[in-house]
Amino acid sequence: MMNKDEQYMQRALELAEWGRGCVSPNPLVGCVIVHQDKIIGEGHHQRYGESHAEVNAIASVENQELLTEATVYVTLEPCAHHGKTPPCANLLVEKKVRRVVIAATDSNPLVGGKGIEILRNAGIEVQTGVLEKAARWQNRRFFTQIEKKRPYIILKWAQTQDGFVARNDFSSKWISNSQSRQLVHKWRAEEDAILVGKNTAFYDNPTLNVRDWVGKNPLRLVIDRQLILPKELKLFDQAVPTICFNQKLNEIKANLEYKKLPFQSIVPEILADLQDRKIQSLIVEGGPFVLNQFLDAELWDEARVFISQNKFVEGIKAPSLNDSPDEQFTIESDQLAIYYYV
């Protein structure tokens, strides 16, 4: 049974989720303002560069005088620095709120306890750690980027019941069913970037957009070391910002960038480049050679594997995960297995 603080924080976490796919590289944040056990204001961070959750929640309070007797529930420590918006900790001090309850402290060095310090120095009661585990999990992409200096990495593939991702001629359409494929488009809308290797780009000619969902397209990434992929492929249509990692050329034209890398250790090189670009999350969609590069380097956070009822008997083997799935779901005729790297 949740206590009152946990109940209001749970609502703040629900609000924060509404920013999914829109606020990166900022974190998801929700805020609830309570006066005498009644919610008088709510808000969430809606879009990167726009008002933070606390600002939106305060703006929604009709009687601003009640703020001096109110408790503010926020899923992440209020910011203490000037970025694209003013510090939220200072706004809470200005409004003279009575109490602030925080789920997770911010490990960003620009904040890192400074927001809490500002509030306490102003005489505001501060409580931390309420539903902290849930808040850190919700913002695992943000915390991974801040703490591990790389994007949050999601490996994704579809395989047959007998463990193949493609036939020997590299053909694979369609292993998973239409509902599973639509779910993948939803995932794409929630993440910053998506990566495929040369063979997947050539044989599947994927678009890697969210045409079966509503949302933003991820940054498209393709590995083509020797620049041998045909320029007629959909990945090079410049309809969506795209980066081609290669060993020969640095060039930017419109929505297509060729980025030269040493290719001495390709996975860390790509991740370092994405970190410089403030890319918070990455879906790796294959093929098996690229997926195994991430698995072998132990550079991944989730693996999402669709298992269909189809059988190929022979073909190109799917990557192997020895552990049992942490979660399993049925998607019509498919099974979805989710693994978390610990």
**Concatenated DSSP letters of 19-78:** TTTTSTTSPP-EEEEEETTEEEEEEE--STTS--HHHHHHHT-S-GGGGGG-EEEEEEPP
Final residue belonging to a domain, choices 144, 169, 203: 144
Q: What's the number of domains the chain is made of?
A: 2
Domain CATH number, residue 170: 3.40.430.10
Please indicate, yes or no, whether residues 177 and 134 belong to a single structural domain of this protein: no
Do 53 and 199 lie in one domain? The reply is: no
pLDDT tens for residues 251-286? Answer: 999 999 999 999 999 999 999 999 999 999 999 998
CA quadruple 82, 83, 84, 86: dihedral, nearest 10: -20
Confidence of residue 246 (pLDDT cuts 50, 70, 90): very high
Indicate which residue of 42, 50, 54, 147 is catalytic: 54
Q: Are residues 258 and 118 in the same domain?
A: no
Q: Residues annotated in the binding site for Zn(2+), as ranges?
A: 52, 79, 88
Average pLDDT (111-125) is: 93
According to the model, what pLDDT value does residue 281 have?
A: 98
Dist CA 77 CA 262 (whole Å): 39
The mean per-residue pLDDT over the stretch 84-90 comes to 84
Render pLDDT for 38-74 as a digit per residue (tens, 0 to 9).
999 999 999 999 999 999 999 999 999 999 999 999 9
Please indicate, yes or no, whether residues 122 and 155 belong to a single structural domain of this protein.
no
Mean pLDDT (the chain, rounded): 95
The pLDDT value given to residue 171 = 80
In the beta sheet, which residues pair with residue 164?
317
Same domain, 120 and 140: yes
**95-104: average pLDDT:** 97
The per-residue pLDDT for 174 is 76
Closest to 104 in 3D by CA, of 132, 81, 80: 132
Please check whether residues 280 and 229 belong to one and the same domain.
Answer: yes
Residues 42 and 110 in one domain: yes
* Residue owning tokens 């779910």: 183
Report the predicted TM-score, pTM, of the whole model to 2 decimal places. 0.94
Mean pLDDT confidence for 188-204: 96
Once rounded to an integer, what is the mean pLDDT over residues 173-188? 92
pLDDT value, residue 30: 98
Range of the domain at 186: 150-340
Same domain, 168 and 282: yes
What percentage of the chain reaches a pLDDT higher than 70?
99
Give pLDDT, residue 111.
Answer: 72
Q: Of 23, 16, 15, whose CA–CA distance to 190 is shortest?
A: 23
pLDDT, mean of residues 201-208: 95
Which whole number is the average pLDDT over 127-141?
98
Do both 133 and 163 map to the same domain? no
Query: Does 131 lie in the same domain as 190?
Result: no
Reply yes or no on whether the pLDDT at 328 is more than 70.
yes
- Structure confidence at residue 1 (pLDDT): 86
> Residues forming the annotated binding site for substrate?
172, 188, 208, 211, 285
CATH of the domain at 117: 3.40.140.10
CA distances from 212 to 154, 184, 185 (A): 20, 9, 6
DSSP-derived secondary structure for 78-108: PP-S-SSS--HHHHHHHTT-SEEEEEE---S
Three-state DSSP class for 126? strand
Domain boundary among 127, 144, 161: 144
The yes-or-no answer on residue 54 being catalytic is yes
* 155 touches 303 (CB < 8 A): yes
Predicted confidence at residue 169, as pLDDT, reads 85
Choosing from 83, 112, 144, the residue where a domain stops is: 144
**212 vs 33, more confident:** 33
pLDDT at residue number 84 = 67
In this structure, the answer to whether residues 184 and 88 fall within a common structural domain is no
Say whether both 40 and 131 belong to one domain.
yes
| % of residues, the chain, pLDDT over 90 | 90
